[in-house]
Amino acid sequence: MAVTGAAGTIGSVVREALRHEATRLILLDRVPLRPQAENEDVHIVDLRDAAAVESALAGADRVLHLGGVPDEAPLPDLLEANVLGTHHVLEAARRTGIERVVLASSNRVTGFYPAGHLTGPQEPARPDGLYGVSKVAVEALGQLYADKFGLSVICLRIGSFEPTPTEPRHLATWLSPRDAVGYIRAALAAPSCTRFATAYAVSANTRRFWKLPDVTELAYVPVDNAEAHAVDVSEDLPADPTAPQAGDGRRGSLGARHRADRALRH
Protein backbone atom coordinates (compact mmCIF):
# COMPACT_ATOMS: atom_id res chain seq x y z
CA MET A 1 0.00 0.00 0.00
CA ALA A 2 1.24 3.50 -0.82
CA VAL A 3 0.27 6.99 0.33
CA THR A 4 1.30 10.18 -1.45
CA GLY A 5 1.29 13.42 0.51
CA ALA A 6 2.05 11.33 3.59
CA ALA A 7 3.42 14.30 5.57
CA GLY A 8 0.25 16.35 5.11
CA THR A 9 -2.58 16.91 7.56
CA ILE A 10 -4.70 13.98 6.36
CA GLY A 11 -1.69 11.91 5.33
CA SER A 12 -0.25 11.99 8.84
CA VAL A 13 -3.51 10.73 10.35
CA VAL A 14 -3.91 8.02 7.72
CA ARG A 15 -0.30 6.95 8.11
CA GLU A 16 -0.82 6.32 11.81
CA ALA A 17 -4.06 4.43 11.21
CA LEU A 18 -2.85 2.22 8.35
CA ARG A 19 0.63 1.48 9.66
CA HIS A 20 -0.55 -1.60 11.54
CA GLU A 21 -2.70 -2.90 8.68
CA ALA A 22 -0.17 -3.01 5.84
CA THR A 23 2.62 -5.49 5.29
CA ARG A 24 4.53 -2.67 3.58
CA LEU A 25 3.51 1.00 3.74
CA ILE A 26 5.16 3.14 1.05
CA LEU A 27 5.11 6.84 1.95
CA LEU A 28 5.77 9.65 -0.54
CA ASP A 29 6.14 13.37 0.03
CA ARG A 30 8.24 16.31 -1.09
CA VAL A 31 9.40 16.97 2.47
CA PRO A 32 11.77 14.65 4.36
CA LEU A 33 10.12 11.71 6.10
CA ARG A 34 11.53 9.24 8.56
CA PRO A 35 10.25 5.68 8.92
CA GLN A 36 8.42 5.20 12.21
CA ALA A 37 7.98 1.44 11.90
CA GLU A 38 9.81 -1.44 10.29
CA ASN A 39 7.19 -1.80 7.56
CA GLU A 40 7.40 1.84 6.44
CA ASP A 41 9.29 2.65 3.24
CA VAL A 42 9.72 6.42 2.81
CA HIS A 43 10.54 8.34 -0.37
CA ILE A 44 11.16 12.05 -0.95
CA VAL A 45 9.46 12.51 -4.31
CA ASP A 46 8.21 15.45 -6.34
CA LEU A 47 5.01 14.28 -8.02
CA ARG A 48 5.96 16.27 -11.12
CA ASP A 49 8.77 13.74 -11.70
CA ALA A 50 7.04 10.85 -13.46
CA ALA A 51 10.03 8.48 -13.29
CA ALA A 52 10.52 9.08 -9.57
CA VAL A 53 6.83 8.47 -8.89
CA GLU A 54 6.85 5.20 -10.80
CA SER A 55 10.01 4.04 -9.04
CA ALA A 56 8.63 4.83 -5.59
CA LEU A 57 5.31 3.08 -6.23
CA ALA A 58 6.88 -0.13 -7.54
CA GLY A 59 5.52 -3.11 -5.64
CA ALA A 60 2.42 -1.40 -4.25
CA ASP A 61 -0.99 -2.99 -4.77
CA ARG A 62 -3.07 0.08 -3.79
CA VAL A 63 -2.40 3.82 -3.75
CA LEU A 64 -4.01 6.58 -1.74
CA HIS A 65 -3.19 9.80 -3.58
CA LEU A 66 -3.33 12.77 -1.20
CA GLY A 67 -0.41 14.78 -2.59
CA GLY A 68 -0.88 18.18 -4.22
CA VAL A 69 -1.71 21.82 -3.52
CA PRO A 70 -4.56 21.72 -0.95
CA ASP A 71 -6.03 25.19 -1.40
CA GLU A 72 -6.67 28.06 -3.79
CA ALA A 73 -3.53 29.03 -5.73
CA PRO A 74 -2.46 30.35 -9.14
CA LEU A 75 -3.64 28.07 -11.92
CA PRO A 76 -0.15 27.05 -13.16
CA ASP A 77 0.72 25.78 -9.65
CA LEU A 78 -2.52 23.83 -9.42
CA LEU A 79 -2.08 22.31 -12.87
CA GLU A 80 1.45 21.16 -12.08
CA ALA A 81 0.86 19.79 -8.59
CA ASN A 82 -2.71 18.52 -8.79
CA VAL A 83 -3.37 17.63 -12.41
CA LEU A 84 0.07 16.64 -13.69
CA GLY A 85 0.92 14.97 -10.37
CA THR A 86 -2.26 12.90 -10.48
CA HIS A 87 -1.55 11.91 -14.07
CA HIS A 88 1.87 10.63 -13.03
CA VAL A 89 0.36 8.60 -10.17
CA LEU A 90 -2.28 7.05 -12.44
CA GLU A 91 0.22 6.33 -15.17
CA ALA A 92 2.57 4.69 -12.67
CA ALA A 93 -0.35 2.59 -11.43
CA ARG A 94 -1.15 1.51 -14.97
CA ARG A 95 2.44 0.67 -15.81
CA THR A 96 3.19 -1.24 -12.60
CA GLY A 97 -0.09 -3.14 -12.30
CA ILE A 98 -1.49 -1.44 -9.19
CA GLU A 99 -5.04 -2.66 -8.56
CA ARG A 100 -6.70 0.35 -6.90
CA VAL A 101 -6.11 4.10 -6.80
CA VAL A 102 -8.02 6.30 -4.36
CA LEU A 103 -7.88 9.95 -5.40
CA ALA A 104 -8.38 12.84 -2.98
CA SER A 105 -10.90 15.10 -4.65
CA SER A 106 -12.73 17.93 -2.92
CA ASN A 107 -16.18 19.26 -2.08
CA ARG A 108 -15.02 22.38 -3.93
CA VAL A 109 -15.88 20.56 -7.16
CA THR A 110 -19.52 21.47 -6.48
CA GLY A 111 -19.10 24.57 -4.31
CA PHE A 112 -21.52 26.74 -6.29
CA TYR A 113 -24.57 24.57 -5.71
CA PRO A 114 -26.88 26.27 -3.18
CA ALA A 115 -26.58 25.21 0.44
CA GLY A 116 -30.24 24.14 0.43
CA HIS A 117 -29.62 21.57 -2.32
CA LEU A 118 -28.64 18.04 -1.28
CA THR A 119 -25.95 17.39 -3.86
CA GLY A 120 -25.00 13.98 -5.23
CA PRO A 121 -21.78 12.95 -6.96
CA GLN A 122 -23.47 12.37 -10.32
CA GLU A 123 -24.54 16.00 -10.72
CA PRO A 124 -22.54 18.29 -13.02
CA ALA A 125 -19.50 19.99 -11.54
CA ARG A 126 -19.87 23.57 -10.32
CA PRO A 127 -16.42 24.45 -8.94
CA ASP A 128 -16.12 27.52 -6.74
CA GLY A 129 -12.53 28.41 -7.68
CA LEU A 130 -9.42 27.34 -9.53
CA TYR A 131 -8.65 24.74 -6.87
CA GLY A 132 -12.05 23.17 -7.53
CA VAL A 133 -11.34 23.26 -11.27
CA SER A 134 -8.11 21.32 -10.69
CA LYS A 135 -10.04 18.67 -8.77
CA VAL A 136 -12.59 18.38 -11.59
CA ALA A 137 -9.62 17.55 -13.82
CA VAL A 138 -8.33 15.05 -11.25
CA GLU A 139 -11.66 13.22 -11.31
CA ALA A 140 -11.71 13.29 -15.12
CA LEU A 141 -8.28 11.70 -15.21
CA GLY A 142 -9.48 8.99 -12.85
CA GLN A 143 -12.49 8.31 -15.08
CA LEU A 144 -10.25 8.17 -18.16
CA TYR A 145 -7.88 5.63 -16.60
CA ALA A 146 -10.81 3.53 -15.43
CA ASP A 147 -12.55 3.56 -18.83
CA LYS A 148 -9.52 3.32 -21.09
CA PHE A 149 -7.14 1.15 -19.09
CA GLY A 150 -9.41 -0.74 -16.68
CA LEU A 151 -7.83 0.78 -13.56
CA SER A 152 -10.04 0.70 -10.47
CA VAL A 153 -10.39 4.31 -9.25
CA ILE A 154 -12.38 5.82 -6.39
CA CYS A 155 -12.55 9.60 -5.93
CA LEU A 156 -13.31 10.90 -2.44
CA ARG A 157 -14.68 14.45 -2.33
CA ILE A 158 -13.24 15.35 1.04
CA GLY A 159 -15.16 17.65 3.36
CA SER A 160 -13.75 20.08 5.94
CA PHE A 161 -11.15 17.91 7.65
CA GLU A 162 -10.73 19.28 11.17
CA PRO A 163 -10.40 17.79 14.68
CA THR A 164 -13.66 19.61 15.51
CA PRO A 165 -15.85 22.14 13.66
CA THR A 166 -14.55 25.70 14.05
CA GLU A 167 -16.93 27.79 11.89
CA PRO A 168 -20.63 27.75 10.93
CA ARG A 169 -20.03 26.15 7.51
CA HIS A 170 -18.38 23.18 9.21
CA LEU A 171 -21.74 22.24 10.75
CA ALA A 172 -22.59 21.02 7.24
CA THR A 173 -19.18 20.14 5.81
CA TRP A 174 -17.15 18.69 8.70
CA LEU A 175 -15.18 15.49 8.15
CA SER A 176 -13.83 14.13 11.42
CA PRO A 177 -10.47 12.33 11.49
CA ARG A 178 -12.23 9.12 12.53
CA ASP A 179 -14.65 9.28 9.61
CA ALA A 180 -11.86 10.26 7.20
CA VAL A 181 -9.96 7.10 8.07
CA GLY A 182 -13.16 5.08 7.77
CA TYR A 183 -13.89 6.37 4.27
CA ILE A 184 -10.31 5.81 3.16
CA ARG A 185 -10.24 2.27 4.50
CA ALA A 186 -13.50 1.51 2.70
CA ALA A 187 -12.26 3.01 -0.58
CA LEU A 188 -9.00 1.07 -0.45
CA ALA A 189 -10.86 -2.18 0.31
CA ALA A 190 -13.84 -1.79 -2.06
CA PRO A 191 -14.44 -4.78 -4.36
CA SER A 192 -12.14 -4.93 -7.36
CA CYS A 193 -15.22 -5.01 -9.60
CA THR A 194 -15.71 -1.32 -8.73
CA ARG A 195 -14.27 0.28 -11.85
CA PHE A 196 -14.95 3.93 -11.02
CA ALA A 197 -16.83 5.72 -8.24
CA THR A 198 -17.09 9.19 -6.76
CA ALA A 199 -18.30 9.79 -3.21
CA TYR A 200 -18.52 12.64 -0.73
CA ALA A 201 -16.44 11.98 2.36
CA VAL A 202 -18.34 13.89 5.04
CA SER A 203 -19.37 13.08 8.57
CA ALA A 204 -23.01 12.33 9.42
CA ASN A 205 -23.78 16.00 9.98
CA THR A 206 -27.44 16.86 10.47
CA ARG A 207 -27.02 19.98 8.29
CA ARG A 208 -24.89 18.42 5.54
CA PHE A 209 -25.65 19.33 1.93
CA TRP A 210 -24.01 16.32 0.26
CA LYS A 211 -25.43 12.85 -0.13
CA LEU A 212 -23.75 10.11 1.83
CA PRO A 213 -22.33 7.25 -0.27
CA ASP A 214 -24.43 4.21 -1.07
CA VAL A 215 -23.10 1.48 1.24
CA THR A 216 -23.31 -1.01 -1.61
CA GLU A 217 -20.68 1.07 -3.40
CA LEU A 218 -18.60 2.28 -0.45
CA ALA A 219 -19.09 0.23 2.69
CA TYR A 220 -18.74 2.91 5.35
CA VAL A 221 -21.32 4.73 7.43
CA PRO A 222 -19.97 7.87 9.16
CA VAL A 223 -20.37 8.02 12.93
CA ASP A 224 -19.59 11.62 13.92
CA ASN A 225 -21.97 14.59 13.69
CA ALA A 226 -20.92 18.24 13.75
CA GLU A 227 -24.15 19.03 15.61
CA ALA A 228 -22.52 17.71 18.77
CA HIS A 229 -20.19 20.72 18.57
CA ALA A 230 -22.74 23.32 17.47
CA VAL A 231 -22.79 25.01 20.86
CA ASP A 232 -19.09 25.82 20.42
CA VAL A 233 -19.51 27.34 16.95
CA SER A 234 -20.58 30.98 16.72
CA GLU A 235 -23.51 31.52 14.34
CA ASP A 236 -24.23 35.19 13.68
CA LEU A 237 -27.02 34.72 11.13
CA PRO A 238 -29.35 31.88 10.09
CA ALA A 239 -28.01 29.80 7.20
CA ASP A 240 -29.15 31.03 3.78
CA PRO A 241 -30.29 28.01 1.69
CA THR A 242 -29.73 29.99 -1.52
CA ALA A 243 -26.10 30.86 -0.72
CA PRO A 244 -23.34 28.78 -2.34
CA GLN A 245 -22.17 25.73 -0.44
CA ALA A 246 -18.70 27.27 -0.54
CA GLY A 247 -19.90 30.03 1.77
CA ASP A 248 -18.73 33.48 0.74
CA GLY A 249 -16.69 31.98 -2.11
CA ARG A 250 -13.39 32.36 -0.32
CA ARG A 251 -11.17 29.44 0.54
CA GLY A 252 -8.70 30.10 3.30
CA SER A 253 -7.38 33.62 3.75
CA LEU A 254 -8.31 36.69 1.73
CA GLY A 255 -4.78 36.49 0.38
CA ALA A 256 -5.59 33.12 -1.16
CA ARG A 257 -8.57 34.69 -2.93
CA HIS A 258 -6.35 37.51 -4.16
CA ARG A 259 -3.88 34.97 -5.53
CA ALA A 260 -6.73 33.27 -7.37
CA ASP A 261 -7.91 36.61 -8.73
CA ARG A 262 -4.44 37.34 -10.05
CA ALA A 263 -4.31 33.90 -11.65
CA LEU A 264 -7.65 34.55 -13.36
CA ARG A 265 -6.45 37.91 -14.68
CA HIS A 266 -3.24 36.49 -16.05
Give me the amino acid identity at 210.
W
What is the DSSP track for 171-185?
HHHEE-HHHHHHHHH
Whether 4 contacts 103, CB under 8 Å = no
Helix then strand count (H, E) for the chain reads 8, 9
Distance (Å, rounded) from C-alpha 140 to C-alpha 144?
Answer: 6
Q: Pairing between strand 62-65 and 100-106?
A: parallel
Catalytic hit among 131, 145, 183, 220: 131
Give the CA count within 13 Å in the CB-facing half-sphere of 70: 16
Is 131 catalytic? The answer is yes
What is the DSSP track for 80-108?
IIIIIHHHHHHHHHHHHT--EEEEEEEGG
Specify which residues 210 forms β-bridges with.
Answer: 119
127-161: string of b/e by CB count within 10 Å (b at 16+)? Answer: bbbbbbbbbbbbbebbeebbeeeebbbbbbbbbbb
Q: Which positions are annotated as active-site residues?
A: 131
